[in-house]
Amino acid sequence: SSGGSSGGCFIGGSSSSSAPLASRRAAITTGIGCALSSGAPAAAARKPSPPQPVTDRNGAGVTETAWLSADHSRAELVLGLDGDPYFLLTETVRPAAGSEGEAAPPTRRLLEYAIKAECTHLGCLVQEDVALLAGPGGFACPCHGSKYDATGAVTRGPAPAPLGIARVTAREPDGALLMSAWEGDDPRRRA
């Protein structure tokens, strides 16, 4: 039987198993190329997955109140978007002194994003950088030595890009943390 045309791609030749290997390879390569080029708009139109619950290492759901009340002096992994490991980030908020000169005690809050714990070089699981624990913090890849600052920006290669991020929100009214794909400008680039 002879080949046909589909979506502007022509795949010719015979479907016989006696066809030369080179011809079959050419047909397969052409077919894959056509499938990829015609499927590109569908892939681009794919909707991001809905927000997913954040769970701890034991699979239990994580709430904003529980996370902020626990001592997370070291970065801890949670499972987030698509079951991938992420670091939840907090910052300390120091309120201004009141009218009587007394400052309210500092509080912690979750940042709007979590950092994906996957090195952008070859996908190894990054860890908290022990050398930076007393300072600003950061992450290191144990496989090939890439280093990232506390925001996930590359400070030493071979990693080609910053660590990925996902949006973190607290669901109303129970405060369960949800993670979704980050859309829009990277918040780490804001001045």
86 forms bridges with which residues in the sheet?
Answer: 78, 116
CA distances from 12 to 22, 30, 33 (A): 13, 9, 14
Position 46 confidence tier, pLDDT thresholds 50, 70, 90: low
Higher pLDDT, 10 or 113: 113
Joined together, the tokens standing for residue 62 give 């994580």
| Phi, psi angles (nearest 5°) of residue 142 | -75, -15
CB atoms closer than 10 angstroms to residue 115: 24
- Residue scoring higher pLDDT (132 or 104): 104
Residue 100 per-residue DSSP state: T
Residues 35/159, Cβ–Cβ less than 8 Å: no
Among 138, 141, 174, which residue's Cα sits nearest to residue 160?
A: 141
pLDDT single digits (tens) 108-156: 888 899 999 999 999 999 998 877 666 678 999 999 999 999 899 999 9
Residue pair 110/89 in contact (Cβ under 8 Å)? The answer is yes
**pTM of full prediction above 0.75:** no
Q: What average pLDDT does the segment 146-173 reach? A: 94
163: tokens are 């660590």
Lowest mean pLDDT among 11-15, 98-102, 109-113: 11-15
For 129, phi then psi, to 5°, come to -80, 105
| pLDDT computed for residue 189 by the predictor | 81
Q: Fill in the DSSP letter of residue 102.
A: P
Q: Are 140 and 148 in contact (CB under 8 A)?
A: yes
pLDDT band at 65 (very low <50, low <70, confident <90, very high): very high
Instruction: For residue 72, count other CB atoms closer than 10 A to its CB.
Output: 14
How wide is the angle at C-alpha 172 spanned by C-alphas 168 and 175, nearest 5°? 60
At 9 the pLDDT is 45
What mean pLDDT is reported for the chain?
77
Check pLDDT > 80 for residue 8. no
